[in-house]
Amino acid sequence: MHATTFIASVLALTSTALAGNAGIKNNCNQDIFLTTTGPSQKSTQMKIAANGGYFSTPIVGQGNSFGLTKNADYYSANTPKLIWGASDSNGVTYYSLNTVNGNPFDGQSISLSGNQPGCATITNPDGATKACTDKADFYLQVC
């Protein structure tokens, strides 16, 4: 292995290991759907089970998006979406919570919080961007 390839690999692993995690817990009494888009712009969809289902992934790089809906038709213009955006840059994780086409959890509790001091908790998806250390793990709980 060339030295530059080895060094690049170690740096990539180090940045991934130091990044915080994104966790989503579904406390609703129905399954919800999560559509993720990452820095590569590749999109995937999965179901998070009702009554405690959980998803977790590292927050790495910029452009991480976690879109939650109550049906599988995420890309429909009529589907209400809760969207959590997160980007990791220069030791800081920037995050926000917003809705598109309405709030699928209207009237139900929403809480996005980080586990480090100074990480502001978001309970109202107003789109305002917050910042916290990239060492923080973030948890979004719905219902």
Q: Quick check: is 57 in a domain?
A: yes
Asked if the structure places residue 36 within a domain, the reply is yes
Spans of the chain, pLDDT less than 50: 1-17
Q: Is 59 within the bounds of a domain?
A: yes
What does pTM read for this prediction? 0.83
Per-residue confidence (pLDDT) for residue 5, from 0 to 100: 33
Please check whether residue 36 is in contact with residue 65, taking contact to mean a CB–CB distance below 8 angstroms: yes
Q: What is the pLDDT of residue 53?
A: 98
Residue 55 belongs to a domain = yes
CATH code for the domain of 100: 2.60.110.10
Per-residue confidence (pLDDT) for residue 43, from 0 to 100: 81
**Residue 31 domain boundaries:** 20-142
- Give the number of residues written for the chain: 143
In a domain, 5, yes or no: no
- DSSP per-residue letters across 16-85: HHHS-EEEEEE-SSS-EEEEEE-TT--EEEEEE-TTTEEEEEE--SS-EEEEEESSS-TT-TTS-EEEEE
> Quick check: is 129 in a domain?
yes
Q: In which order are the strands placed within the sheet that holds 32-37?
A: 43-48, 32-37, 64-69, 81-89, 92-100, 130-133
Question: For the chain, what is the domain count?
Answer: 1
CA atoms of 114 and 122, how far apart (whole Å): 10
Q: What is the pLDDT of residue 42?
A: 77
Residue 2 domain-assigned (yes or no): no
